[in-house]
Amino acid sequence: MQKLYILKHLQNNKIAAFIIAAAFLAAAMTAGISIGTVSVPVSYIAQIIGGKLFHVPIGTDIDPMFTNIVMNIRLPRVLLAGLIGASLAIAGAAFQGLLRNPLADPYTLGVSSGASVGAVVTIFFHISLPYIGLFTLPLMSIVFSFITIFIVLSFSRKIDSAMRVETIILTGIIFSSFLGAFISLMIALTGDELRQIIGWLLGSVSMRGWDYVAILLPFFLAGSALLLINARELNAMSFGEEQAHHLGVNVQKRKMLIMVAASILTGAAVSVSGAIGFVGLVIPHLVRVIWGPDHKYLLPLSILTGAGFLILADLVSRVIISPTELPIGVITALIGAPFFAGILVNRRGGRR
């Protein structure tokens, strides 16, 4: 009874929800920048960022080494991890609401598999586009993710003109299986690139820098804005497509917009980091349990919580066996799999 009362109180207090989520993100960012092989004092972080971004005078006693670590290594890494976590979390929240299924995930439609195929093909064939160079890998991944979602939606429409949720999910699973087999084939055929491909597939934000933040940011802003605009429609569709239609929602149009926006977020995130699982599955479910299912709050809270979660996961991945780094995907799987198993057990127990 006390647990239910606490959850109900949290769900009713949305201001507190945003304060808690924002504080969690701020704490995660501070820890991510401060902790490492060389520890940076929190007071230095504030002075360095304030000086570089807001032209606040920097104390003369700050070693230039700390400035280089914060501005060129850790801050861009933390921001990139936060953007990736936020993208996957809000996309997962949108898919779960749209498909009315807590097991839904950005990877259900095969978008992640499509982006991964783009990366593997680029690495395998040593593709380097003119004037792009380093950015060939993320751009190819984004292109393949768009191609995948286009094929999935087109195939679903041909099978079922109403594009019902069940048809879309089954089509996505079919294409995910096919693309996964293709990736396995490419890995089996590769030679020297094997370690690079496996490392990319497991997920990482190491050695990315500001350029990758700039690549992901526009896709994050565009995809998130589209989903936030459609929060009311997501609420309606959470009760079923017929009910949403009766409430005046253009179901087909909104469904397409939400699917495309969530796929942009997923494809862009995977393109710069590799496959990172469970963020889009567990974080939206956790936020929904604590703060309720209203997408007007669920979506932005998922952004804040997902960003903080992946920043901490990245921090753990680089310090747990320092100086060696683990892929973030390993950490999110170790945390997410048992957590999600617990969610499934609780849900099943609640039905008895």
The CATH number for 39's domain is 1.10.3470.10
Q: Give the model confidence (pLDDT) of 257-299 as tens digits.
A: 998 888 888 888 988 888 888 899 889 988 998 888 999 999 9
- Read off the pLDDT band of 143 (50, 70, 90): confident
The pLDDT of residue 9 is 56
Confidence (pLDDT) at 39? 92
| pLDDT reading at 132 higher than 60 | yes
Angle at 238 between CA 110 and CA 341, to 5 degrees: 60
Q: Is the pLDDT confidence value at 310 over 90?
A: yes
Q: Is the pLDDT of residue 30 over 70?
A: yes
Rounded to the nearest angstrom, the gap between the alpha carbon of residue 64 and the centroid of all alpha carbons in its chain is 33
pLDDT band at 195 (very low <50, low <70, confident <90, very high): low
**Residue with structure tokens 């060939």?**
136
What burial letters (b/e) apply to 220-237, b meaning 16+ CB within 10 Å?
beebbebbbebbebbbbb
pLDDT number for residue 299: 97
Mean pLDDT of the chain: 84
Q: What is the mean pLDDT of residues 80-93?
A: 95
C-beta of residue 95 within 8 angstroms of C-beta of residue 262: yes
Residue range 91-120, pLDDT digits in tens: 999 988 888 877 778 777 788 888 888 878
H or E element, residue 171: helix 165-189
Tell me how many domains the chain contains.
1
Structural domain range at position 292: 2-351
Instruction: Report how far residue 174's alpha carbon sits from residue 270's, in angstroms, rounded to the nearest whole number.
Output: 20
Please state which of the ranges 22-31, 84-93, 122-131 shows the lowest mean pLDDT: 122-131
Q: Which two tokens stand for residue 195?
A: 């370690």
For 7-54, give the DSSP string: HHHHHH-HHHHHHHHHHHHHHHHHHHHH-SSS---HHHHHHHHHHHHH
- Highest mean predicted confidence (pLDDT) among 137-141, 213-217, 227-231: 227-231
